[in-house]
Structure 1
Amino acid sequence: MKRIIALITLLLYFFIFVPALTAAPETQTAAPPEISGEAAYLIDVQSGQTLYSKNGDQPMAPASTTKIMTGLLGIELGNPEDIVTASETMLDYTTVYGTRIYLEPGEQLSLEDMLYALLLNSANDAAVAIAEHISGNTSAFVSLMNQRAADLGLKNTTFKNPSGLNEEGHLTTAHDLARIAQAAYANPVFRDYIKTKSHVIPRAKENVPIEMINENKLLWRDDTITGMKTGYTSVAQNCLVASASRDGRDVIGVILKSPGREIYTDMQALLDYGFEQFENTLYKGVGDSLGQLEIQGQPVNLLIDQALWITQKKDNTLPQPRINILPIDGELAEVAEGQVLTRLEVWEDEECLRVVPLAADRNIITEAAVEKKSYALFTGLGLMVSGVILYGAVQQRKHAERRRERAKLRQDRIQDPNRCQRR
């Protein structure tokens, strides 16, 4: 077993670290931009690596950038065709105030339109309506928000409400918000919402907002901006999360507690810095082998199901990530093609950036297993008639089980099956 792990680790060393050691000579690069906000963060989406940080781990109020998490959970746990009915909470002006679309109790909109109101117009009443629709009440929904943050490995984020309005203890960091934005950006439905400049929602009432206008000024100025979320409260001041895509690369920037409208020019400079001063290298593509082991004297390649990118600053000063290979459990006598045998973790300092499954590229079956398979087929034919008789009873049981599983599914759908191991 030790030889297997050693072999995988050795191969990964040559695949990932040797190219960095033989990179091109240092070149002249620009200094990082001056950011007026109290905190800022910039990441490369493909590699997950940090490109810039200013007070990245300082807890701060996020204002309406909170709605990135609210929108993501709404998309994941709801159906766009769901009908959302506004509750009496709309009349509680200690909970619902500030930017609104003036929902009234009993008013109904599709979840899709509520999400447009949330992510474009930044409507606080839509945030509450979505939370109550998904979880029954805002407290239960906020618990889901905090659980999702924990699942992402974020240690400095605590949500108190789904809108981002001022509330004691409602805090995150520029780093954590960048990771939340990265998780949301991975959802194609979320990306469709945040890149939308305007959307008209149908409403039965008159003299209420129906055209949702995206508040992200950068989206209207720069064609490479792909969206994200603005925010402002008296405590948080100006906040902005922005994503952009150029030449096959995507970056996400965060600026918190900026004193004024310079937040947009600062963000533009931050994004430009990420694109102009860094570049990505593809070390292994989808379906490539990242190692090999022997089973019954036959080679089995370990394949990845996602591209592995490494980001480097053009002057070669960005620290490279490190690799952690999880041990293979037990001795392997046989494997099936596509079977995940172990996982590769990519770490930046003490943060796990991603987990990549390593799967077998072929079947290795023992002779005993082949004999058992033939016997199972013969026996299966004999049991077929009995199976038909039992089918009706089994289906009834499954129907009852499905009802129980649906409640669990809501939580399971937001869990990442490939989370990094705790350190």
Structure 2
Amino acid sequence: MGLSVQPNTATAAATPLNQAPVNPHQLVIIPSDTDHPPPPVLATAAYLMDMDTGATLYAYNPFMHLPMLSTTKLMTALLAVEHGNLNQQVTITSALDRDIQQHISPDSSLFGLKKGETYTLRDLLYGLLLPSGNDAAVAIADAVGGSYQHFVDMMNQRARELGMYDTHYMNPSGLLATGHYSSAHDLAVLGRYTMSNPILHQIANTRIYHIPKTSQHAEHYLVNGNQFLWWYPGADGGKPGWDGNTDFVQVVSCTRNNRHLIGVTMNTKDWWTDMRDLMNWGFDNFQWISPYDVDLQHPIPYDYDWGYFVRDKKTNTLPTANHGRYYIYTGYSVSPPILNFFDKNGGLDQFGFPTSMPNYNQGNLVSQRFQKATIQCDLAGKQCKRL
């Protein structure tokens, strides 16, 4: 577990959406919640941004270059909206079909394009963002860019314009490739910009989309693979990426109580815990909600890929940098010497969950409140007691 960039409580002015920062590697972190500690994450990199101001609320390895997988498609969608016409007709010609077959992998997620079919660019965008169709990505690239490679060049140019200096594209879909990478910071920038576009925000917030059969193409029922959208309060867009192993990436848009946040986690095996912890902390609302509980009432698409979330429990914890333990249920962490006394004297059964951060009193005393009692320790004498 590494440390996040240290927070600064100074006030930041709003950052214009389309203006690249002078120094993108200089961050001022302005935590929105100061009565809870910033949550540790299992992800290799993570980021939390205020959508309205562009302020950085949380950053962990923010500039590390990592595969961004299908979150790539946010840039593909952005260029499609900026340079294309949503009613534009795109025909899957023999040449385009060959291009699609050349630039997708055998295990690709697909929209389901067939040679000879014709779709609108709008339909292709739904096929790109909901089922994460790699074939739709190639079709959009050829249609909007004139050629596959020219579209990739457009992607890299747009990334530079947005100040995404730790991003480089090799394809429009997100397939693993040497030189295809991004960073948590850059994905937050991209998430903020794409989710500020009303068309893309609406598409990304659509759970199910029906494309009726016509004389030009087959019928499609599309289900949004952004699972966070199906259970977390206020989730309203974004894009996940998954390589089918343990590497999960996600960009999530969430609006609650008149606040709009963009969260990013990269290379995590427990995406729901990481993103929930970040969003709970960003909104300062730790009311327990679990995908496991929601899935029992209203099935979440692709829940079987994650064992139906049975391992998501209130008692789960994450390790902290100071040899402590972060309780995801209340959003507080417990560290030595209080943690040692807590464990030796019954733990959760006797004390319940932590309900505050440690309070350093006069002299060498430190205390922390729990649901059933308070633990006080004398740091000098290393003696602790229950109050």
Identify, as 1 or 2, the structure richer in strand.
1
Cα RMSD (Å): 2.6
Residue 160, structure 1, aligned to residue 170, structure 2: yes
Residue 78, structure 1, aligned to residue 88, structure 2: no
Distance 1:40 1:216 in 2: 17
Distance 1:74 1:27 in 2: 37
Instruction: Indicate the residue corresponding to 1:59 in structure 2.
Output: 65
Q: For 2:268, which of 246, 252, 258 is the aligned residue?
A: 258
Q: Are residues 96 and 203 of structure 1, via their aligned partners in 2, closer, same or farther at CA, if it must alter by over 3 Å?
A: farther
Instruction: Indicate the residue corresponding to 1:93 in structure 2.
Output: 101
Distance 2:137 2:33 in 1: 47
Instruction: Indicate the residue corresponding to 1:246 in structure 2.
Output: 256
Identify, as 1 or 2, the structure richer in helix.
1
- Equivalent pair of 1:166/1:235 in contact (CA under 8 Å): no
> Which aligned pairs between 1:213-362 and structure 2 lie closer than 5 A?
213-233=223-243, 237-259=247-269, 262-276=270-284
Distance 1:49 1:214 in 2: 28
- Equivalent pair of 1:109/1:203 in contact (CA under 8 Å): no
Name the amino acid aligned to 2:48. L
Deviations 1:90-140 (A, max 9, x none): 345341230112312221111111100101110000011011110111111
Name the amino acid aligned to 1:211. Y
- Equivalent pair of 1:70/1:127 in contact (CA under 8 Å): yes
Q: Are residues 79 and 246 of structure 1, via their aligned partners in 2, closer, same or farther at CA, if it must alter by over 3 Å?
A: same
Residue 172, structure 1, aligned to residue 182, structure 2: yes
When Rg is computed on C-alpha atoms for both structures, the one with the higher figure is: 1
Q: For 1:139, which of 124, 131, 149 is the aligned residue?
A: 149
Name the amino acid aligned to 2:156. N
- Equivalent pair of 1:230/1:241 in contact (CA under 8 Å): yes
Instruction: Indicate the residue corresponding to 1:196 in structure 2.
Output: 206
Instruction: Indicate the residue corresponding to 1:388 in structure 2.
Output: none
Instruction: Indicate the residue corresponding to 2:37 in structure 1.
Output: 31
- Equivalent pair of 1:51/1:274 in contact (CA under 8 Å): yes
Residue aligned with 1:57, SS: coil
Deviations 1:192-227 (A, max 9, x none): 111100101134589977111001111111341111
Superposition deviation, residue 258 in structure 1: 1.0
Superposition deviation, residue 254 in structure 1: 0.5
Distance 1:186 1:28 in 2: 27
Superposition deviation, residue 29 in structure 1: 1.2
TM-score, L = length of structure 1: 0.56
TM-score, L = length of structure 2: 0.61
Q: Are residues 236 and 132 of structure 1, via their aligned partners in 2, closer, same or farther at CA, if it must alter by over 3 Å?
A: farther
Residue aligned with 2:57, SS: strand
Instruction: Indicate the residue corresponding to 2:320 in structure 1.
Output: none
> Which aligned pairs between 1:353-372 and structure 2 lie closer than 5 A?
none
Distance 2:42 2:12 in 1: 40
Name the amino acid aligned to 1:36. L
Any unmatched runs of 5+ in structure 2? 1-10, 14-31, 286-387
- Equivalent pair of 2:33/2:281 in contact (CA under 8 Å): no
Distance 1:175 1:235 in 2: 24
- Equivalent pair of 1:131/1:138 in contact (CA under 8 Å): yes
Distance 1:28 1:198 in 2: 38
